[in-house]
Amino acid sequence: MRKRNERVEIYLTKIELEELAKNVEKTGMSREAYLRMLISEKTPKELPPMEFYDLLKELRQINNNINQIAAKANSIGFIDHGQYRKDSEALMEVIGKIMHEVFG
């Protein structure tokens, strides 16, 4: 059985409909879900840019590398400072990219 049984029809101008479609597309939501959020006085959030996902992939790889360094350091009793520094600098570079994407 349907949870939502009430139907609402509205008329929009072409410009209003285009604006609605543009705003909905930015969120990746359905038009209905977008409107329900607005009715609930919640602000729909835009999807992050595609570069965001590339940056997350880089961060995951860097995290994996750092974990491998830590495991190796624990098993042999010392740390490869050169590799650790390289991965640490790469991590800081990616964090800088994220900060630039998010905050401009």
Give the model confidence (pLDDT) of 6-40 as tens digits.
999 999 999 999 999 999 999 999 999 999 999 99
Which two structure tokens, joined as six digits, stand for 101? 């994407």
Give the model confidence (pLDDT) of 28-78 as tens digits.
999 999 999 999 999 998 888 888 888 888 888 888 888 888 888 878 877
Which two structure tokens, joined as six digits, stand for 84? 């650790």
**If you write DSSP's letter for every residue of 66-87 in order, what string do you get?**
HHHHHHHHHHHSS--HHHHHHH
Domain coordinates of the chain in residue numbers?
8-47, 50-103
Sign of the dihedral defined by the CA atoms of residues 93, 97, 98, 104, in that order: positive
User: What DSSP element (H or E) covers 53?
Assistant: helix 50-76
- Is the pTM of the predicted complex or chain greater than 0.95? no
Contact 97, 49 (CB under 8 A): no
Rounded CA separation 4/77 (Å): 62
pLDDT bucket at 104, cuts 50 / 70 / 90: low
